Structure 1
Amino acid sequence: MPILESTYNPPFLFKNGHFSTIYNGLFRKIDDFEQKRERIELPDSDFLDLDWSYSNSKSDKVIILLHGLEGHGQRPYITGSAKAFNSVGYDACAVNFRGCSGETNRLFRAYHSGATEDLDAVVQHILINKSYSSICIKGVSLGGNMAMKYVGENRELPKEIKGVVGISVPCDLHNSSDQLLKLKNRAYAIRFKRHLTDKLVYKVARFPDDITNKDVRAIKTLKDFDDIYTSRAHNFKNALDYYDKSNCLQFLPNIKVPSLIINAKNDSFLGPSCYPYKEAKENPNLYLETPKYGGHVGFYGKNNITYTEKRAIKFLEKVV
């Protein structure tokens, strides 16, 4: 499939990748919006909290929304997307990954970029308990990697899954990890690490045989976190094994439902191999758009609707 030409051309300030990233992450607000929480039980005795919002009229379409690293269902990039999809006739199911809903999860494990078993649990819950004929998925950052991996893995997808959109997708997790270790991303990396290690306090108290305070003090970088906790909690050998097995890049050639990746060229979190030009050219189901601007999950738009929210709706309208 030919690479899509992007029309995104934001105001001057938002052409700066860092400004765009920080504005959308810290200053954007979504008002006049309500969600209803539902808890589902998982096969391994853990749980997920889902935040639902609804179209004004009865809908047979639902969009599953997946947040990024240390996000949750109330982040503006999730609620903004839910509100936009609600306005065009979709119900929206915002997934809070394990430990991200404001309550620590029950098990030693939590969530990670490749945990598609949890996404599948949400899909199966919707299929069994709801009455939607069309299910679409939109993932952001870590959630985008999970979404693309899910539809590219060796599984028979339900016929109800019509399309997928990934925004700011770290298609090569190792490559993205290397970028986050660089000085240009130091402020972001410190913020992520603080949130992640704060959560480990609960794990140390509940699972002292699996992780100790000494382990937590040894975490200096995000890669350390993946070496010491992510890999240990999710049965990987180390961080590199986790990145290797969980990155969606290797699964993109197998995608058989219409799928769109939008990765800005000035996204400081993404290295060269996070832009899957070759895979998009060779797979007629995979579309790739690489705007010059946008930062990481930035993409400012007028009327508090981001460019990627509009593009996701436009793309999925063609396939649903």
Structure 2
Amino acid sequence: MPLLDDSHYIRPKWLFNRHLETIYPSLFRKVTVPSPIHERIITIDGDFLDLDWYKQKQSKLVIISHGLEGNSSRSYMLGMANSFIKSGYDVLTWNFRSCSSEMNKQVIFYHSGATYDLDLVVMHAYDSYEEINLVGFSLGGNLTLKYLGEKGNNLSKIHRGVAISVPLHLGSSSKKISETENTLYSKRFLRTLKKKVIDKSASHPGQIPVETLRNIKTLADFDDFFTGPLHGFADAEEYYEVNSSLYFLDQIKVPTLILNAQNDPFLSEKCFPSALGKKLDLVYFEFPKHGGHVGFSPANSEKPYYSEQRAVEFISAVI
């Protein structure tokens, strides 16, 4: 306990493998939400974060964090926002550094453990709400869990957390996404990440070893040459070990749900720590057989996605 072994998710018959479950919603899902209020806040190092607010004058807020190379306008972000808007919450979605419509100013980008930016977002909203809940997808899920573990009981208004399709162990998940069957995904991520490095080097000449891009073949290579060193880590290995949320779960002090599909093509075996789930009192693990990566599509397109349904249920429930 709390290991939830009675997940009720059933994938649509036409999404008959993990890759279809992952790709279909990413390419074809359309979500209509109210127009957000855009806000830019300044970081302590003179950079900026772009926020999207969906305000309904509610006392409860949900802050949603996106995944690798995502942004606040992705369909999974809008779908989750829409479900909470309909459930009577204010919603705040935000863009990691370099992920909004404008490149960030500092030489650093974002990474899986950059909780200082999530903390800035939380504290920016903190005094305006009686209750704050955190939801994160994939990389944003890792960020959310690490943040909850770091903060412990220090933020009394943090009510609950939900992490979806989260690579709890970054190192082994990086190897998983670089397997041959996942070439389509890894190449897509690398293409946009490499472009950001090239764009960034133009505004920060001499600070980024852009010439090493020719040696980058995998996401682990990118993290070894760029993500790790740019953010103060010796290499990819240190970056992964320091920031893997798996090591912060036992420090989380608010009820938190982790929803990882067993057939997620991005997640390693270490992202399904069933034995740990039986030891933790506040972290709930739900591992449906199907769902893909940030998938969980419903059979009826008019219905909310299973991840959205579970997030609303969990955050709204009396535990």
Q: Shorter-chain-normalised TM-score: which range?
A: over 0.9
- Looking at structure 2, the residues matched to 274 and 34 of structure 1 have their Cα atoms a distance apart, in angstroms, of 36
Corresponding position of 1:119: 118
Rounded Cα–Cα distance in structure 1 between residues aligned with 2:115 and 2:240 = 14
Paired position in structure 2 for 1:2: 2
Report how far residue 278 of structure 1 moved.
2.3
CA-based RMSD: 1.3
SS at match of 1:153: helix
Instruction: Report the TM-score, using the length of structure 2 for normalisation.
Output: 0.96
Aligned position for 1:246: 243
User: What pairs with 1:44-193 in structure 2 (closer than 5 Å)?
Assistant: 44-55=45-56, 58-128=57-127, 131-153=128-150, 156-193=153-190
Give, in angstroms, the shift of residue 213 of structure 1. 3.2
2:77 match: secondary structure = helix
- Aligned-pair CA distance for 1:154: 5.5
CA 161–201 in structure 1, closer or farther in 2 if over 3 Å, else same? same
User: Quick one: which amino acid aligns to residue 53 of structure 2?
Assistant: W
Kindly indicate whether the alpha-carbon contact (under 8 Å) linking 1:30 and 1:76 is maintained by their aligned counterparts in 2. yes
Instruction: Report deviation, 1:233.
Output: 0.9
TM-aligned CA distance change 1:92 to 1:271, over 3 Å: same
SS of equivalent residue, structure 1 residue 12: coil
Encode CA deviations 1:255-297: one digit per residue, 9 max, x unaligned.
Answer: 1100000000000100100112122211110000000010000
Assess if the C-alpha contact under 8 Å between 1:35 and 1:52 holds in 2: yes
Matched, 1:266 2:273: no
CA distance in 1, matches of 2:234, 2:135: 30
Residue correspondences, number: 316
* CA deviations over 1:147-190 (Å, ceiling 9, x no partner): 00011125543111000000000000001101011001000000
Dislocated runs of 4+, deviation >6 Å: none
| Identical amino acids, percent of aligned pairs | 45
212, 226, 229: which one pairs with 1:229?
A: 226
Deviation at 1:116, TM superposition (A): 0.6
Q: 1:179 to 1:138 in 2, by over 3 A?
A: same
1:182-204 Cα offsets, whole Å, 9 max, x none, are 00100000000001011111211
How far residue 2 of structure 1 moved from its aligned partner, in angstroms, is 3.2
What is the TM-score with the length of structure 1 in the denominator? 0.96
Deviation at 1:127, TM superposition (A): 1.5
Q: Please name the residue that 1:310 is paired with.
A: 309
Alignment of 1:17 with 2:14, yes or no, is no
Query: Which segments of 5 or more consecutive residues in structure 2 lack a partner in the other structure?
Result: none
What is the deviation of 1:208? 2.2
CA distance in 2, matches of 1:146, 1:278: 22
Q: Secondary structure at the residue paired with 2:278?
A: helix
Tell me which residue corresponds to 1:276: 273
2:41/2:50 contact within 8 Å kept: yes
Q: Give deviations 1:91-110, integer Å, cap 9, x for gaps.
A: 11001000101100000101
Structure 1: which 5+ runs fail to align?
none
Please give the alpha-carbon distance, in whole angstroms, between the structure 2 residues aligned to 1:100 and 1:28: 20
